[in-house]
């Protein structure tokens, strides 16, 4: 039985700084799909946990806190805003400190269980581009189209450094590359839902590709799937 009433599910996984967010947003725009940035959801959860002063080692307190998490992604004036327990946290979740904290709290079962449930509810009807680390392996192993987007650590660090500098953050390239490598290790080395390429994912190395090149490749494969499955565009 086809549960997808709005289109197919497109999963984009890969390490931090590979360009997933930009590509997911623009691909969703091209296809008239909804972008779901699951990393932003983990970041919002990390912020709320830190603000509440919860010790991540206290799993039973963490579990009851996570069951009450209310995190949503809304689109305001063409930009995605992250609303966590009623507050707009879009900008506050993007600092280098929040990136590392998020990578740590995302190893914890109560956090992953809570977010997995809401991500499945948000995406099950299709017509979505979900980006993250475990979309094609855990959240939607049955996604119709899966990509694994990567780039060299140097290139990802360079892009992240540029992005943070534009926002006025005081960062250096060396530190940013070190952060990227540290997060890669945390994200791929954890026990629960580690970052890895799904067997049926299409790998794209974006190190030497423009965003347009990546999008064209993805859109082409999307059209082939739609043609093959007869799903309405
Ligand atoms: O994509 P991002 O850099 O905003 O993600 C922040 C962190 O959240 C990342 O280090 C790992 C975690 N994450 C995860 O564990 N699973 C996901 N599906 C998405 C992100």
For the entire predicted model, the pTM comes to: 0.93
- Mutating to test ligand 1, I would choose from 132, 140, 182 the residue with most ligand atoms within 8 A of its C-beta, which is 132
Residue that the structure tokens 């790998």 belong to: 203
Pocket of ligand 1 (CB under 6 A): 16, 38-40, 42-43, 102-103, 106, 132-134, 183, 187
For residue 232, name the pLDDT band (cuts at 50, 70, 90): low
Report the chain's mean pLDDT, rounded to a whole number.
93
Architecture of domain 39-123: 3-Layer(aba) Sandwich (3.40)
The CATH code of domain 9-33+127-226 reads 3.40.50.300
To the nearest whole percent, how much of the chain has pLDDT over 70?
98
Are the CB atoms for 221 and 202 separated by under 8 Å?
yes
Domain boundary assignment for the chain: 9-33+127-226, 39-123
CA distances from 221 to 26, 45, 49, 165, 182 (A): 15, 33, 39, 34, 32
Q: Tell me the pLDDT tens digit for each residue of 207-222.
A: 999 999 999 999 999 9
> Which of 49-58, 74-83, 105-114, 204-213 has the least mean pLDDT?
74-83
Using CA positions, which residue lies closest to atom 16 of ligand 1?
A: 133
């Amino acid at each position: 039985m086809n549960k997808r009433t709005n289109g197919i599910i497109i999963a984009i996984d890969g390490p931090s700084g590979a360009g997933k967010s930009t590509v997911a947003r623009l691909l969703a725009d091209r296809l008239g799909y909804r972008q779901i940035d699951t990393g932003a959801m983990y970041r919002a959860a990390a912020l709320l946990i830190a603000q509440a002063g919860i010790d991540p080692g206290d799993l039973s307190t963490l579990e009851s806190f996570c069951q009450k998490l209310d995190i949503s992604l809304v689109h305001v004036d063409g930009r995605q805003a992250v609303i966590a327990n009623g507050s707009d946290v879009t900008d506050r979740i993007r600092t280098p400190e929040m990136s590392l904290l998020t990578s740590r709290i995302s190893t914890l079962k109560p956090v992953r269980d809570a977010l997995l449930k809401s991500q499945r509810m948000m995406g099950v009807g299709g017509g979505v581009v979900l980006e993250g680390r475990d979309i094609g392996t855990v959240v939607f192993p049955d996604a119709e189209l899966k990509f694994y987007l990567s780039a060299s650590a140097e290139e990802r660090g360079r892009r992240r450094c540029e992005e943070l500098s534009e926002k006025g953050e005081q960062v250096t390239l060396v530190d940013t590359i070190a952060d990227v490598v540290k997060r890669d290790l945390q994200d791929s080395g954890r026990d629960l839902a580690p970052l890895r390429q799904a067997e049926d994912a299409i790998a794209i190395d974006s190190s030497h590709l423009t965003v347009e090149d990546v999008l064209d490749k993805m859109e082409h494969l999307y059209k082939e799937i739609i043609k093959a499955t007869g799903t309405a565009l």
